[in-house]
Amino acid sequence: MHIPPSTTSDASVPSSTTSDASVPPPRTSDASVPPLTTSDGQHIPVRDPLTISTVGRLRSARSGLKCVRRFESSMCRRRPQADATAARDDRWDRRRLLAGVGAGVSAALAGCTGVLGGGSPSYEEGDVDDSDGEPRSADELVAAEAVAEEESSEGVTPVDSLSLESHEFVLEDDFRGATIQGTVANDGDDRIQFVEVRARVYDADGDQLGRYLDSTGDLESGSSWAFEVVLLESPDEIDGYDVTALGTPS
């Protein structure tokens, strides 16, 4: 018996379609979102809506970060200006303080000058006859520097009762070398609390080479004191000197 082949007619069955009119096709670009680029300038396509939303949030965060950086930069510029202003104010306060202290010290010194008696000291000149000695050795110079005095006292002034009885240039043959020696007398009725002899030495052109001192304390009325001023210059450099005596009354 013959069986006819079966037919698979699809006339009653609608054919399936791969497209759906209700689903829009994916967008290949979004005009509201700027395209992304890599660090070397290559374009990065954005098609996924989720990616588009993420990119938008990233750009907002980046914009906020820029604002924060601009704010920090502004604060950094303002901080040095504030520090400079504070430093100027501090220097101004320090200057006003020093000015006030200086004025007080000047007034105090003026008062002391009135008590002790002012006036510039009067120097007596002396001759240098024997200046052919040899310069000091290194060890002798160290010893001479240890006994030579160069820093004067601030509280001494000319005193009428003090007198230079004698003075001369003496060249010693030991470490002392060139010296100025003499005596000072207290001709007054009161004790002199402190006595200082100052000697200045000069070269052949009249230029001052240095100033040296000798001092003692408690010179009683009617007594005298033998001084010795050690000079650090070489004898052949010294052509002349002058000397004075100052004191502090008791």
| Of the listed ranges 55-59, 83-87, 130-134, 156-160, the one predicted with least confidence | 83-87
pLDDT-above-90 percentage for the chain: 48
**Which tokens go with 154?**
């601030």
Average pLDDT over all residues of the chain: 74
Confidence of residue 36 (pLDDT cuts 50, 70, 90): low
Contact call for residues 230 and 222 (beta carbons, < 8 A): no
Q: Are 182 and 169 in contact (CB under 8 A)?
A: no
Each domain of the chain, given as residue ranges in start order, spans: 44-114, 124-249
Residue 217 has pLDDT above 80, yes or no: yes
pTM here is 0.53
Contact between 89 and 206 under an 8 Å Cβ cutoff? The reply is: no
pLDDT of residue 154: 87
Q: Bigger pLDDT: 204 or 116?
A: 204
Is the pLDDT assigned to residue 45 strictly greater than 50?
Answer: yes
- List, as own/partner pairs, every contact residues 213-217 make where C-beta atoms lie below 8 angstroms and the sequence separation is at least 24, other chains included: 213/149, 213/150, 213/151, 213/152, 214/149, 215/149, 215/153, 217/193
Task: For the domain made up of 124-249, give the CATH fold.
Answer: Immunoglobulin-like (2.60.40)
pLDDT band at 144 (very low <50, low <70, confident <90, very high): very high
- Give 83 or 196, the one with higher predicted confidence: 196
